[in-house]
Amino acid sequence: MAEPKENVLMEKIVSLCKRRGFIFQSSDIYGGINGFWDFGPLGAELKRNVKELWWHSMTRFRDDVVGLEASIIMAPQIWKASGHVDTFSDPMCDCLLTKKRFRADQVEAQSGVVYSYTGAKDATSGKELNDPFSVLLAQGKPPESARKTAAQFYQLRGLQNVELLGETTEKVEHSTRFNPENGAQLTEPRPFNLMLQTWVGPIQSDDNVAYLRPETAQAIFVQFKNVHETARQKLPFGIAQVGKAFRNEVTPRNFIFRSREFEQMELEFFIKPDEAVEAIHGSVAVPTAPGHPGEPQPNWGWQMWHQYWVEERVRFYEGIGLARATLGFHLQTPEELAHYARATTDILFKFPFSKVDAAGNVAGDELEGIAARSDFDLSQHERHSGKSMGVFDEDLRTAWGKLAPEKQADLAERYYQARLKYLTKTGVPEAKAQAEAKEDADGLAKGQYIPHVIEPSAGVDRLILALLANAFSGITSTDEKGKSETRVVLKFHPRVAPVKVGVFPLLKNKPELVAKAKEVFQSLRGQMLAFYDEAGAIGRRYARQDEAGTPFGVTIDFDTLGEQPELLNTVTVRHRDDGAQERIAIADLPAWLLARVK
């Protein structure tokens, strides 16, 4: 029951994207392939701008984040350690009657009497079916109701006047083979693997199965040691990566929002455990007010860092034109959180397809999740690879020696408990877990620990769609003949706009205008993406650029050539959003534009 109006908007966006070359369906001429998309000329520029802005804001403008570009296919053990092999492959089964799908491990166990049939016959036509079917009869219900359910099953297969064949009964205890809602038999559990699989090497065998990464983050954890040792960074610091990821989504939907091949921008920001911060600084700073907490401080605990990154990310979105009001926030509840996660804040965008609740509120759909993941990921890789993921912290060792013994004991105990909790949750036998947690707590006293991590993880494609939806505006105008038409203007922030400036000679058939316009175009193109267009009336060329989201238009007219001497070598600059015009000297143009598009 989606809002028809909203769907119309999505359809317009999809259609515009194709018409203007933002996004095409992958493999279009072969009929397309579900869940895959291609970015056309404008889309490629838009996406590149977004990724570069993210990369620049994360790495080049910060001292404490470095980059990584890892391979897409990695050792398969990584996905075992990360939990993806297990959590991404739930066996599923379907109700044979209603086709409803269940996770096999979530089917409620039931007891009762199973009525089984070898098949059924149409008493009228004589047609016979040999499909076996069983029904679990709930306690207290008459056998007739089981027969009725079975009859429905055969009716769905084309029998009219059902006569059941070969009835047998059997008592079962705690069976998960039946739909708890109607007792109908479920299909055998079938594996569902959300990871795309391939083989490394030309022989396809179980020995060389590998996966296309379902997220870019794991590579960062896996390369943590190498980066830490080579980048001359000390905690806290982060590793950023932009890249493709792949998931065999059950249902790719909503244009590029959920696709099977997508791109992520992920940061893993490694911080000291709170116990270490407290040992060094005496106390741990925690959030006292909402909003951005300002410049990072050495005494921040994970909560400060989490809040800091949420606010940093919001600033990023604001900086590319997504006002705070277009965003939504979702703090994951304890039930939603993974056991190792301490907090996750999702940043949402109100998409045209986002659900509207009964009160008319739109929560939005996820653009990015900022997770405080404790030391789970590095710990997992330490255990699975056998390689230490710990770091040595000189400040901690020095500070620890100066602590009062009771403080040392207190911190060591808290660290011990946290490690013990992790180890037992991940299935380490109790005695071994206690021994290892003790070892970890002893390590802390020597300045060693496994870093904790804050993970802002954003979807590039989702952001592109958000930018398109946010920029999309239809302007309907009626001319003097009463003919009304709707023009589309994509009001991109100049920073993300694919084309920054359109350059036009007012008229195409005047060689002087054309020559001058080309000269202006040449002077701009090295500094920003400029587009030269001489075809059609000037209004049409403005409109074409509006539709592509180009923020500025530059028009060369006879005054540029000196028809009015005081306007010699000046051009008209036209603003996309309101059509306002101003006169700018050609000499000033590059600087004027750069100031507005950077």
Partner RNA sequence: GCGGGCGUAGCUCAAUGGUAGAGCGCCGGUCUUCCAAACCGGUUACGAGGGUUCGAUUCCCUUCGCCCGCUCCA
Q: Which amino acid would we find at residue 314?
A: V
- The interface region with RNA, picked from 313-321, 375-383, 521-529, 535-543 by CB under 7 A, is 535-543
Rounded-to-integer distance, Cα 61 and Cα 305, Å: 18
> 40 or 287, CB closer to RNA?
40
Residue in 77, 87, 169, 230 binding RNA, rule: CB under 7 A: 87
**288 or 509: CB nearest RNA:** 509
Burial bucket for residue 248 (CB in 10 Å: 0-12, 13-18, 19+): middle
CA distance 128 to 159: 8
Q: How far is CA 416 from CA 147, 154, 342, 439, in A?
A: 59, 61, 17, 9
Task: Rule CB under 7 A: say whether 19 interacts with RNA.
Answer: yes
In the complex, the smallest distance separating the C-beta of residue 323 from RNA, rounded to whole angstroms, is: 22
461 binds RNA per the rule CB under 7 A = no
Interactions with RNA, residue window 228-267 (CB under 7 A): 247, 249-255, 258
Question: Which among 5-13, 277-285, 399-407, 418-426 is the span making contact with RNA, rule CB under 7 A?
Answer: 5-13
Contact with RNA (CB under 7 A) among 60, 80, 103, 244: 103
Nearer to RNA, 246 or 316 (CB): 246
Name which position in 121, 225, 313, 544 contacts RNA (CB under 7 A). Answer: 544
* Residue 85 binding RNA, by CB under 7 A: no
> Phi and psi for 563 in degrees, rounded to 5?
-60, -40
Task: Kindly tell me which residue out of 39, 54, 79, 102 binds RNA, with binding defined by CB under 7 A.
Answer: 102
DSSP H or E run through 278? helix 274-281
Give the residues across from 265 on adjacent strands: 242, 458
Neighbour tally for 598: CB within 10 Å? 11
Cβ atoms 281, 301 nearer than 8 A: no
> Of 48, 62, 100, 397, which lies in the binding site for RNA, with binding defined by CB under 7 A?
100
Residue 105 interacts with RNA (CB under 7 A)? no
Q: Which are the contacts of 510, defined by CB distance < 8 A and separation ≥ 6?
A: none
Contact residue for RNA among 263, 275, 346, 440 (CB under 7 A): 346
* Contact flag: residue 331 with RNA (CB under 7 A): no
Binding range to RNA, per CB under 7 A, among 47-55, 69-77, 230-238, 556-564: 556-564
- Per-residue binder mask for RNA (CB under 7 A), 408-427, x = binder: --------------------
Instruction: Give the nearest distance from C-beta 531 to RNA in angstroms.
Output: 11
Contacts of 184 (CB under 8 A, 6+ apart): 95, 96, 97, 98, 135, 149, 153, 178
Which three-class secondary structure state does DSSP give residue 310?
helix
Scored b (16 or more CB within 10 A) or e, 75-86 reads eeebbebbbbbe
Integer Cα distance of 155 and 153 in angstroms: 5
Q: Closer CB to RNA, residue 447 or residue 456?
A: 456
User: Strand pairing partners for 178?
Assistant: 185
Integer Cα distance of 94 and 46 in angstroms:
42
- By CB under 7 A, name the one of 38, 69, 485, 577 that touches RNA: 485
Nearest CB to RNA, comparing residues 230 and 486: 486
Taking the C-alpha atoms of residue 321 and residue 315, their distance in angstroms, rounded to an integer, is 10
Q: Given its phi and psi angles, is residue 282 left (phi above 0), alpha (psi -120 to 50 degrees) or beta? A: left
Residue 182 CB, shortest distance to RNA, in Å, is 14
- Burial degree of 426 (CB within 10 A; 0-12, 13-18, 19+): middle
Instruction: Give the CA radius of gyration of the chain.
Output: 31
The stretch among 89-97, 396-404, 412-420, 425-433 that binds RNA (CB under 7 A) is: 89-97
Contacts of residue 455, Cβ cutoff 8 Å, sequence gap at least 6? 217, 266, 267, 268, 269, 369, 370, 371, 372, 373
Q: Which of 507, 518, 584, 592 lies at the binding interface for RNA (CB under 7 A)?
A: 507
Our CB check for RNA shows the closer of 215 and 377 to be 215
Instruction: Report if residue 82 touches RNA, rule: CB under 7 A.
Output: no
Residue 282 engages RNA in binding (rule: CB under 7 A): no
Q: Least Å distance between CB 464 and RNA?
A: 15
Measured from the CB atom, the residue of 233 and 569 that comes closer to RNA is 569
Stretch that binds RNA, among 32-40, 55-63, 284-292, 380-388 (CB under 7 A): 32-40
Among the candidate windows 30-38, 127-135, 311-319, 584-592, which touches RNA by CB under 7 A? 30-38
572 interacts with RNA by CB under 7 A:
yes
On whether the CB atoms of residues 234 and 280 are closer than 8 A, the answer is no
To RNA, the closest distance from the beta carbon of 276 in angstroms equals 28
Task: Write down the least CB distance from residue 90 to RNA, Å.
Answer: 5
Distance CA 34, CA 253 (A): 9
Told to check if 342 binds RNA by CB under 7 A, we report no
- The yes or no reply on residue 202 touching RNA (CB under 7 A) is no
DSSP 324: G
Among 62, 383, 414, 487, binds RNA (CB under 7 A): 487
Helices of type H across 69-212: 77-82, 84-87, 143-156
* 90/410 with CB nearer RNA: 90
Q: Taking CB under 7 A as the criterion, which residues in 165-194 touch RNA?
A: 192, 194
Near RNA by CB under 7 A, which window of 27-35, 172-180, 311-319, 521-529? 27-35
